[in-house]
Structure 1
Amino acid sequence: MAGSRCPSRLRLMAFIAFLFAFFSSGSSTAQVPVVIWSSDGLPALAPPAAGHITSNDQLTAYLTSAFGSGPHTVLLFLQDKLSKDDFTVFGGVFGNKQDSAFQNLEAALQSSSSSLTLPALEWSGSSAIPALLQEKLGVSPVLVDADTLSHLSINSSVSNLLLINLPYCTSSHKSCKEVLHDNDDIIGTVLSIMKAKDIQYTAIYTGSQPSRVISETSLSEQPVGRSLLQVAAQDVKPPIMFNTTGGPCIMLWAQNLNISLSSTAAWIDLAAETPTFTGSMCNNSFSLLALNYATGHKLSFFMSQRFYPVSARNWFTLDSVQLQINNLTASFIGSRSIYAPAEYSFHCQSVRSFGEILLVPNTTNGNASQWRLNFADFQIQGFSLANKTEFAYANDCAGFFTAGIWMGLITTLLMLLIFVYGLHMIMQLNTMDRFDDPKGPSISVPQVE
C-alpha cells in the first residue's frame, strides 16, 4: 500500500501491526510479508483487499514500474524466516515503542517519502524476490554487512543490489524477540550508513521462507453441522521409537533435547538430528534407550519397573540419563518425581539438571557437574506398549496442588476463620434487661466492697 509520510505513531502502528493482523484472516497457504520503502519515491499502488495474496506476477509488474528506468540502489534485507505474525507478536502493537522489536524499521517507514506493504506474498519453496530484483536491475547481488558497507564505495550512477542476510531464531539460548531486535539494529545501522554517504536508495525487508506455515484444509473435509472450534493442525514430528521383533518397545518425544558442556556454552539441540539405536534393549523389568548421533553424541535413558505391594501395581522409573561425548561421560540420576504406572507414560514440560532439578548430576563423575541437560516438553514410555504406536495416558510431573493453589486455599481458610470468629462474637451480644427511664426512678447499682 503506497502512502505518504505517516503523521503520527498511531497511524504508523496501524500501517504495520493492524494491517498485518487484519489481512491474516485470508487463506492459510504459505506466504511471506514484504515491506518496501524509498528515500526518493515509489509508484502508487491500490491497497489490496482483505485476505488477498499477492502473486509473483503482480510483484513483477510493480517492480517493473518501480525500477523500469534509470539507475537504482536497492537494499535487500533478506531474513531467513519471516511471517506477518512476527510483526503482530513482537511489533509493540499497542503503541509501546520500547516494547517493539522493529523500532528502526518503524522509524524508517515514518521518515521515508513513500512505502509499500504486502502482508502476504505467495511463497512456493524459495523466495523469488532476489531473482526478480536481479532481472529488473540487470546486476548481480552483492552480499554485504554493516562493516563492509561502511568501507564500500557505491557508484550511484549505475544500479546496485546490496544483499544483507539476517538470521532468525533457531536455538533456545536467545528468544525470537531478541533476534528480531538485533536484526532491527542492523537495519538501522545500514540505513545510517546510506544516509551518511548521501545515497538515494530503495529498501526491501522480507523473508526467504515463512516462519509459520499452517496447512490448508479442504472445505470438503470439514464436518457439516455443529462442531466445536478447533485449532488448525500443524505438522508434528513423530516420536522416537525403538522397535524389536515383537513390535514397538520404547517411545520418546521431546520438543528439544538440549545439551551444553558448560554454563556459558551454547545449547545443542539433539532433537533436530536423526539417531540410531545401537545398544538399546528392553524386557519386562529393564529398558535402555540409546540414541547415537552422527555428531558423536550419545544420549542413553535407563528405565526399570517393579511391583510395589502398597499400591498393588507395577511402576516404572527413569533411573538415570547418561550423556557421552567422544570418550567423556556424564551421568544424571533421575529424581523420585520421574515415575509412572508401568502401563502409563511419563510427561513433563521441563526436565533439566539445573534450576528445578529433576536430573541430579552424579557427583562421582566430574563431567556431570559441568554439563547441563534441558529437555522441553518431554515424554517417555519404556514398558507396556503392546504394539501401540501412540503414547499411553501420561502421568505428568506437575502436581495438582501447586504453590499458588495452596496459597489460595490457606488464604481462604484464614479469611473464613476470621469471618466465623466475628460472627460468633456478634451472636454473643445480649441486650440489657432494663433501660434507664429519665421520668422514672433511676436504676441503682449496688456496689460490692
Structure 2
Amino acid sequence: MRKMNIIHRFNLIVLGVIVLAEFSKCTEFVPVYIWGTSRTIEHQPALHKVSQNSFKDDILDRLKSNPILVVFTEQTLSPEDFSQRDESGFTTYPRLLKLRKTYKASYFPYVQNPIKALDNLVGNPTLISADQITEGWNVPDSQIIIIELNDASENEQRHEMLKRHDSLIASVYEKVLNKYGNVLAIYTAHRTSWVGSEEIVQSRRTRSLLASDLNSTTNQFFGNDIFFYTSGSAILNGADKVNLTYTESNESSVLTLTGSGISENGAKVDLKLNFTRTASNYWNLHVVVVTIDSVTFHEKVNGTIYAPLAFSYACGNQVFKNASLGQSITLPRFQVQPLYRQTILTQQMKFDDPYHCVGFTSIPIWSGLFVTFILMLIMTFGLTMMMDIKTMDRFDDAKGKTITISAAE
C-alpha cells in the first residue's frame, strides 16, 4: 500500500512538471505600447513583468471612455527593437515616439500574452491586413479594428521593416482619429523576437542572420578561411552607400578578404583586408587597401584590430580613412574572424566571442571614476577640516576664580 502511494505521488509530480513545461511554452512576454486621446491615470506596474489579467484590467479601465480601439500587431517584437538604431544613429520608431508629446502614452516592456488578453475583451473586431491598407483606404465602421502587420519582405532587413511599420501606424492612427476623434491605440505582437540571453552569448554573431542567407557574399562572408559580417551597406565619405561582394584568398600565410562593388553614385570601390598571424597565437589586421575609382590609399592598422586565434573582433562602426586624400569608408556593425584555428562555434558557422573596439574602461566608466574621485577629494577635505577644529579645554567655574587668558595664549 505504501509502495502504491509513493508511485502515485511520483506520477503526480511528473504530471505537474509536464503541465508547467507546457504552460511555460505557451507564455510569451512581449512589449506593449499604448496611447490615446483620453487622459487616463498612468499605470505603473509594480513588477517588472505584467501578467495577462493585470493587463486586461488596465485595458478595461482605459475603455471606460468608450473609445475606438485600434490594435497594431506584429508577428514578433521585443524591447530591444525599441532601442535599436540604424547605421546612421536614428531610432526605428521616430513617428511613434513623437506621439508621446501629444497623447498620453504608456510603455510596458514585458506583458504576458497581450493578444490573448485582448481576445477576451473584444466582441466582433474588424481584421485588416497591412497589405490591404493603400492610399485610398477607408476606415471601417467598427468599434474595434485589428491591423495585422504581416507584410515582411524577403530581402528587407528587420529595422527597415519596423521603420516602415512605424510610418504605417502613424498614418492609420491619424486617419482613424480624423473620423472618430476618441481613439485608443495599442502596438504589440504575438511572440517575442529575441532569443534568451544564453543563446545570444553562444551565437552573438548571428544577430538577424538567422533570417538571411548565409551563402550570400553581399555585405557578409562566411568562407573556409574568414568569417566577415556587416549589418548593411558600406558608406563612402559619410554619405554614398555601396554593397560589397566579398571573396577570400590565402597566399604566403596572408589571408586576404576582397570586397568589390559599385556605389549609388556610380563610384567603383575595391576593399582589401590583409590578415596575418603572430608568433604569440594572435591574429591581426595588418593593412587595409581601399580603392575608390582611381584613388587608392593604404591604411596600416598598427595592431589596433586584433584578437587571439579563437576570438573574433567586433566594432559598432569601423572607419578606414585617409585624411590627406579626404577619402573614407565605414563598415556598420563590423565583425570579423580569420579562421587560423577551428573551434566548435566556427564549425557551426558562428563567430567566437569578440574582442570589442571599445575597451573595458569606456567613456562612461571613466566619467564615473572621475566623479567618484572628485567626491572622495571633497569628503577627504571636509573630514580633514573637521578634525582640525580645536575645542575648548578650559571652562569657567561659577564657584571658583575667573579664568584669565593672556595675550600669549
Give TM-score scaled by structure 2 length. Answer: 0.49
Q: Tell me the TM-score normalized by structure 1.
A: 0.46
* Larger helix percent: 2
